[in-house]
């Protein structure tokens, strides 16, 4: 694996840290700015909104720029957003800075995934994507807890200055390690990228992402009350248990990348099935302390096994212009975050119990399996051939792709 993947992982580490650290700093931010904690919660939403807006927008704007330049520019924007967050004099300034910080998130992962796969042999593409995402999962183990402690002891502004420093390190790493063959602009341009998004398989892959990770966030958004009210953990123990989720996510990410290189669709189906089973068992697993800790770890493993195959599947379905579709998949992840939390909240509001969001998450995982199944059927029936007139026809053929699915 090329050393350049380390540069992408450093950027991913910084992005993952700033995305999740605000949740742990809400009391400090609220006290300092003189606002309520629910109002401070809007800062989390502002970042997510920035991701959803910025992922397709920045990917489209930069379609004619070299990918190396795009990655460096996106990380510079990330540094600026976090530095402005540290200097924010009031809530509105901080809201705008958090929105700005979120803008480069999706495009960085989207373009970064494309760059990662072009630097390795075809049979290592999924592993290259998983190594970039490793920075994101490790951020949940080390980056977020350390940044939260920094904010609690040195002030929340110090946290965002620290994240800015990580961003500067990523800028230097990208400039030094990304190969110079990525200094040329892609040939497809914006029109080619938009054309790739017209493909039904691309939208089915995006739909699988929304449903699959919506399942995760339906449960994970309410994991703290599950651990305290159902499993009996003290509030002070939750941070350590969330680190277990990060450990599980890291394991799942690495295993999923390796398995997807051998059977991409099989890994996706297996991961979604495992996720549905783990979530369905949550009410039982949350009945004791040891099994609850196991449940949190298994949740991270099952959910992130699907990360690399989902990202790679979107890119392969939009092979003619993968950057925009790859970035759109990151927007889909964040839509899953918001939608899953909302659906899980409906179950809680309806009075179905503190573990009910996990059960609704299991239903979303099953929905993801259904969408992935439809995508598999569509793939079997879409075998393009050159008819001599530039059109595409579906022919009766049995051509196995590297995901292990026979097309025909």
Quickly count: other Cβ atoms within 10 Å of residue 65's Cβ: 16
Instruction: Give the integer Cα–Cα distance in Å for 333 and 401.
Output: 26
User: 164 and 237 in one domain?
Assistant: no
Residue 275 above 80 pLDDT? yes
User: 234 and 179 in one domain?
Assistant: no
User: 201 and 163 in one domain?
Assistant: no
387 found inside a domain:
no
398 found inside a domain:
yes
Q: Looking at residues 195-208, what average pLDDT do you find? A: 84
What is the tens place of the pLDDT at every residue in 307-353?
A: 888 888 888 887 767 778 888 888 888 888 878 888 888 888 888 98
Q: pLDDT higher for 320 or 131?
A: 131
Pick the closest to residue 199 from 56, 369, 378 (CA basis).
378
Token pair for residue 201? 């398989």
Instruction: Give the integer Cα–Cα distance in Å for 302 and 284.
Output: 17
Total domains in the chain come to 2
388 found inside a domain:
no
pLDDT of residue 393: 38
User: 117 and 156 in one domain?
Assistant: yes
Instruction: Give the integer Cα–Cα distance in Å for 222 and 391.
Output: 50
Residue 186 above 70 pLDDT? no
pLDDT of residue 399: 40
User: 207 and 151 in one domain?
Assistant: no
Percent of the chain clearing pLDDT 90 (strictly above)? 33
Q: pLDDT higher for 274 or 330?
A: 274
Measured over the CA atoms of residue 176, residue 256, residue 332 and residue 37, the dihedral's sign is: negative
353 found inside a domain:
yes
Domain CATH for 245: 1.20.1250.20
Give the domain-ending residue among 170, 185, 200. 185
| pTM of the model as a whole | 0.79
Are 136 and 16 in contact by the 8 Å Cβ rule? The answer is yes
What is the tens place of the pLDDT at every residue in 75-117?
A: 999 999 999 999 999 889 999 999 999 999 988 988 898 888 8
User: 332 and 212 in one domain?
Assistant: yes
Residue 188 above 80 pLDDT? no
Rg, C-alpha atoms of the chain: 21
pLDDT of residue 400: 42
What is the tens place of the pLDDT at every residue in 219-249?
A: 887 888 888 888 888 877 777 888 888 899 9
pLDDT of residue 407: 41
Instruction: Give the integer Cα–Cα distance in Å for 389 and 126.
Output: 35
What Cα–Cα distance (Å) separates residue 356 from each residue in 173, 225, 408?
44, 11, 41
278 found inside a domain:
yes
Instruction: Name residues whose C-beta falls within 8 Å of residue 100's C-beta, 6 or more positions apart in sequence.
Output: 50, 77, 80, 81, 84
62 found inside a domain:
yes
Token pair for residue 265? 């669709």
Q: pLDDT higher for 193 or 377?
A: 377
Pick the closest to residue 369 from 255, 251, 280 (CA basis).
280
Instruction: Give the integer Cα–Cα distance in Å for 164 and 174.
Output: 15
Q: Domain limits at 233?
A: 187-382+393-408
Q: Looking at residues 18-36, what average pLDDT do you find? A: 82
User: 233 and 368 in one domain?
Assistant: yes
pLDDT of residue 127: 87
Give the domain-ending residue among 142, 161, 185. 185
Measured over the CA atoms of residue 64, residue 65, residue 67 and residue 70, the dihedral's sign is: negative
Give the domain-ending residue among 185, 207, 242. 185
User: 196 and 181 in one domain?
Assistant: no
pLDDT of residue 273: 96
User: 191 and 177 in one domain?
Assistant: no
What Cα–Cα distance (Å) separates residue 253 from each residue in 131, 161, 233, 309?
8, 29, 27, 10
Can you give the chain as a three-state secondary structure string? CCCHHHHHHHHHHHHHHHHHHHHHHHHHHHHHHCCCHHHHCHHHHHHHHHHHHHHHHHHHHCCCCCHHHHHHHHHHHHHHHHHHHHCCCCHHHHHHHHHHHHHHHHHHHHHHHHHHHHCCCHHHHHHHHHHHHHHHHHHHHHHHHHHHHHHHHHCHHHHHHHHHHHHHHHHHHHHHHCCHHHCCCCCCHHHHHHHHCCCHHHHHHHHHHHHHHHHHHHHHCCHHHHHHHHCCCCHHHHHHHHHHHHHHHHHHHHHHHHHHCCCHHHHHHHHHHHHHHHHHCHHHHCCCHHHHHHHHHHHHHHHHHCHHHHHHHHHHHCCCCHHHHHHHHHHHHHHHHHHHHHHHHHHHHCCCCCCHHHHHHHHHHHHHHHHHHHHHHHHHHCCCCECCCCCECCCCCCEECCCCCEEC
Token pair for residue 187? 């040939």
Give me the chain's average pLDDT, please.
84
User: 97 and 205 in one domain?
Assistant: no
User: 113 and 241 in one domain?
Assistant: no
User: 157 and 261 in one domain?
Assistant: no
Are 201 and 317 in contact by the 8 Å Cβ rule? The answer is yes
């Amino acid at each position: 694996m090329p050393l350049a993947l380390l540069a992408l992982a450093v950027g991913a580490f910084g992005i993952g840290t700033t995305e999740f650290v605000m949740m742990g700093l809400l009391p400090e931010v609220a006290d300092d700015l003189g606002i309520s904690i629910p109002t401070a919660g809007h800062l989390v939403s502002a970042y997510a909104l920035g991701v959803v807006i910025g992922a397709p927008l920045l990917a489209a704007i930069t379609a004619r720029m070299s990918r190396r330049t795009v990655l460096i520019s996106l990380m510079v924007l990330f540094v600026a957003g976090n530095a402005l967050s540290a200097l924010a004099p009031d809530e509105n300034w901080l809201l705008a800075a958090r929105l700005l910080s979120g803008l480069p998130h999706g495009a960085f992962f989207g373009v970064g995934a494309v760059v990662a796969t072009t630097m390795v042999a075809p049979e290592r593409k999924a592993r290259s994507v998983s190594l970039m995402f490793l920075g994101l999962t490790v951020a949940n183990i080390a980056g977020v807890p350390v940044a939260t402690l920094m904010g609690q002891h040195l002030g929340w502004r110090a946290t965002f200055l620290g994240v800015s420093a990580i961003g500067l390190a990523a800028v230097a790493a990208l400039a030094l390690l990304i190969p110079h063959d990525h200094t040329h602009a892609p040939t497809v341009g914006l029109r080619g990228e938009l054309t790739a998004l017209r493909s039904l398989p691309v939208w089915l892959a995006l739909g699988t992402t929304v449903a699959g990770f919506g399942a995760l966030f339906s449960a994970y958004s309410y994991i703290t009350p599950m651990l305290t009210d159902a499993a009996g953990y003290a509030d002070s123990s939750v941070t350590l248990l969330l680190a277990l989720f990060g450990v599980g996510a890291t394991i799942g990410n690495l295993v999923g990348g390796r398995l997807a290189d051998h059977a991409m669709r099989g890994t996706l189906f297996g991961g979604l099935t495992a996720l549905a089973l783990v979530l369905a068992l949550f009410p039982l697993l949350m009945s004791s302390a040891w099994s609850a800790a196991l449940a949190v770890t298994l949740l991270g493993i099952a959910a992130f096994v699907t990360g690399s195959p989902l990202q790679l599947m979107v890119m392969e379905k939009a092979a003619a212009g993968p950057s925009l579709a790859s970035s759109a998949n990151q927007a889909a992840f964040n839509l899953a975050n918001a939608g899953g939390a909302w659906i899980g909240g409906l179950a809680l509001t309806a009075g179905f119990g503190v573990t009910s969001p996990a059960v609704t998450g299991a239903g979303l995982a099953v929905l993801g399996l259904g969408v992935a199944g439809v995508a598999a059927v569509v793939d079997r029936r879409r075998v393009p051939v050159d008819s001599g007139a530039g059109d595409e026809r579906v022919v009766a053929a049995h051509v196995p792709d590297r995901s292990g699915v026979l097309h025909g």
